[in-house]
Amino acid sequence: MSVEENNNENEAPVQVDTPEVAPVVEPAPAAAQQASEANAANVLASVLALREANPKVFYGGAAGVLLLLIFLFSGGSDAKLPVHQAKPVVIGQNYQLKSANAYDPNATIRLVSVPGSMAAYDDTEENDREGCKHIPDGTPVKVIQSQDAYGKKDVFVEVEMTSGECEGKRGWALAINLQ
């Protein structure tokens, strides 16, 4: 006998025991439908009983649910808010003063002697209104020079009045007030 035959004779066939899998029992569709209908009927019955027993709580809850649904399903808009786009200022160019943030037709634009001092004044004093410090909208001006600030180009501009009682006077204004 050869070695191979001897090895084959000694090996017995191996049988692997596999556990039997129990079949999955699914509930009948009719039984599941009946159970869900019974649950819905129970919820409806308890809601109707609440309406009879305590109508204030019932109608308050209904109003709360309605408000919640309105809140959840009311959509907002993705519209962007308008932002003032500053136009590049050209030195020597003629412009008109126009307040970018005022709707009052009598609004004036404050001219200051030093750029950046816009918020450093209290215009409640009477002498502040004298002279050429508050210029009405629509006054024609000529740009003399500009100054960068806050990491932005041409934030402040020095202007010279080209007409009116303040003709030839100079002052600093915000560049957004030029059109």
- Count of structural domains, the chain: 2
On the 0-12 / 13-18 / 19+ scale of CB atoms within 10 A, 11 is exposed
For residue 173, the one-letter residue type is A
Mean pLDDT by runs of 10 across the 179 residues of the chain is 58 59 58 73 87 91 93 79 74 88 82 73 55 85 88 86 89 87
47 shares a domain with 114: no
Q: How many residues does the chain have?
A: 179
Residue 44 structure tokens: 């409806």
Query: Given this model, what pLDDT does residue 66 score?
Result: 94
Query: Given this model, what pLDDT does residue 144 score?
Result: 93
Query: Given this model, what pLDDT does residue 160 score?
Result: 93
107 shares a domain with 156: yes
Contact 144, 158 (CB under 8 A): yes
Residue with tokens 């200022």: 89
Distance CA 26, CA 20 (A): 18
Q: Which residues pair with 159 in a beta bridge?
A: 143, 171
Domain that holds residue 132: 94-177
Task: For residue 135, tell me if it sits in a domain.
Answer: yes
